[in-house]
Amino acid sequence: MNLKELIKYVFEHYPIRKPTGFNERQGKGDPLVSIIKKGLTQIENSELVLGERYSSKGSAGMGEWATIPWIGLFDHEISMSAKKGFDLVYLFSADLKTVYLSLNQGWNFYQNKYSGKSALENITKVSEYWRSRLTRTTDSMTGDSIDLHASQFKNTKLPRGYEQGSILNIEYRRDNLPDNVTLISDLLAMRTVLEELKRQLFSPDDLEISIAYILRSTKKCQLPVDSQLNTKSEKKIDYSSLTNMDLEKAPQPSGILQDSNPGFLARSRDYAELQRDNTRVGFLGEILVLKKEKKSLIDAGKVELANQVEHVSQTQGDGLGYDIKSFYPNGSLKYIEVKTTWGHGNLPFFLSQNEMKFSKENKNQYVLVRVYDLPRNGHVPGKFYEIKGDLSQQLDISPQTYVARFDKGAKK
């Protein structure tokens, strides 16, 4: 059986769902269920598709027929199932007239991680993020929406998740399937794009962190003042190796933070790339502080409190005035704002009006954690110090941002 024959077999033998459901349950030992479950492992020249690190399986449902049968291809390092991660999947429409080869995401992860509409909103944001960054595409691939013709079935959310989770896809019509060589060529080309995606993940061995980073980077954030940042060297940093580094507490600097303006720099800078790199290091700092807070509570025997530590800038958004909700061992609240740069601890950093206001209104619980001197390889600890209370009483604050609008009364 080649790939085209496998796809045709599913089209020709899979039952069509009626508005009230399927006419019958799956029969015990049904050959269709077995064939779909084996996925691409049974096709001719499967070793060409699977290589050394890929696996394949499919699903026709568990006992009940699935509204959308699928056959997936999974990279062991970033996904072992269709429930979590990034993978390639053949999605058959409910009316069995179309099948999509889709670079897709594990919808179950979003359902379990986010509530209500947030799950669909976040999986859509991640799809859009990748569509704007993947370059190894072919003319046959598109980022257009897929339609699995399942909107009339109200008792399943899976089809909608599959649709919103599609990053790129190739559509094949049942009445106009290309030849097997074209199908294999398309699959290998899409696999190349999946490999490109994998290389760009913030932390390939921790998909939850990678997705959290993507959601953070889709939000607007201001560039930190870090004159030591070099975008060319930033691109070479393996962030996945840094997320488990330790942080070493250091004393708070005395006096006013130094002016970071080195004068005029005779070089051009890629500010789009600079923004992305600063988003990465800022997010890395938050992950390190989040882990530090949980570990300190666990070490103090406060496991229940450690389980309640929340990365609120991810779960609730950036507008709260702090990044992490944590606790002291006695159970009292701690609101943590994290500021991170590669360079030394005296470098200035940006503060929003909201952060300043929140620190004043919650001065007894507010802690700014300044993370700095992060090593590029993670072999030695990074450093941090803390500033507690009302920031306006402890820092030299200089306005750096202006709001510009048209003056209607100005002369032209």
Q: What angle do CA 82, 87, 93 make, to 5 degrees?
A: 65
Helix axes 117-131, 158-165, angle to 10 degrees: 30
Check residue 377 and give its pLDDT. 64
Q: For residues 399 and 369, is the Cβ–Cβ distance under 8 A?
A: no
**Which carries the bigger pLDDT value, residue 306 or residue 268?**
306
Instruction: Report the b/e string of 201-240 with b at 16+ CB within 10 A.
Output: bbbbebbebbbbbbbbbeeeeeebbbeebebeebeebebb
Burial of 20 (0-12, 13-18, 19+ CB in 10 A): exposed
CA distances from 4 to 77, 91, 173, 337 (A): 28, 14, 12, 55
> Which of 63-67, 103-107, 348-352 has the lowest average pLDDT?
348-352
pTM for the full predicted model: 0.69
**Which carries the bigger pLDDT value, residue 333 or residue 257?**
333
**Which carries the bigger pLDDT value, residue 385 or residue 227?**
385
Q: Is the pLDDT of residue 412 over 60?
A: no
Q: Mean of the pLDDT values across residues 355-363?
A: 93
Burial of 299 (0-12, 13-18, 19+ CB in 10 A): exposed
Reduce the DSSP state of residue 356 to 3 states and report it: helix
Q: For residues 89 and 79, is the Cβ–Cβ distance under 8 A?
A: no
Check residue 179 and give its pLDDT. 97
For residue 118, give the amino acid letter.
Answer: S
Q: Tell me the backbone φ, ψ of residue 338, rounded to 5 degrees.
A: -110, 130
Q: DSSP secondary-structure letter at 139?
A: T
Check residue 267 and give its pLDDT. 39
CA distances from 211 to 157, 216, 277 (A): 21, 9, 16
> Which of 2-16, 170-184, 186-200, 344-358 has the lowest average pLDDT?
344-358
Query: Cα separation of 339 and 323, whole Å?
Result: 10
Give the confidence band of 59 by pLDDT, cuts at 50, 70, 90.
very high
Query: Cα separation of 18 and 281, whole Å?
Result: 51
Query: Cα separation of 132 and 211, whole Å?
Result: 15
Check residue 262 and give its pLDDT. 36
Average pLDDT, the chain: 83
Residues making up the chain, counted from first to last: 412
CB atoms within 10 A of CB 190: 23
Q: What is the pLDDT of residues 229-283, one digit of tens each?
A: 443 444 456 666 677 777 888 887 765 444 444 333 333 444 444 455 667 788 8
Q: DSSP secondary-structure letter at 367?
A: E
Q: In what order do the strands lie in the sheet with 168-173?
A: 54-59, 70-75, 86-92, 98-105, 168-173
Check residue 17 and give its pLDDT. 83
Check residue 142 and give its pLDDT. 96
Q: For residues 382 and 350, is the Cβ–Cβ distance under 8 A?
A: no
Check residue 229 and give its pLDDT. 40
Enumerate domains of the chain plus CATH numbers: 3-200 (3.30.920.90), 207-393 (no CATH)
Highest mean pLDDT among 163-172, 197-206, 236-245, 372-381: 163-172
Give the confidence band of 351 by pLDDT, cuts at 50, 70, 90.
confident
Query: Cα separation of 143 and 145, whole Å?
Result: 7
- Please state, for a pLDDT cut of 90, what percent of the chain lies above it: 51
Q: What is the pLDDT of residues 71-81, one digit of tens each?
A: 999 998 888 67
Q: Is the pLDDT of residue 134 over 80?
A: yes
Check residue 325 and give its pLDDT. 96
Check residue 408 and give its pLDDT. 58
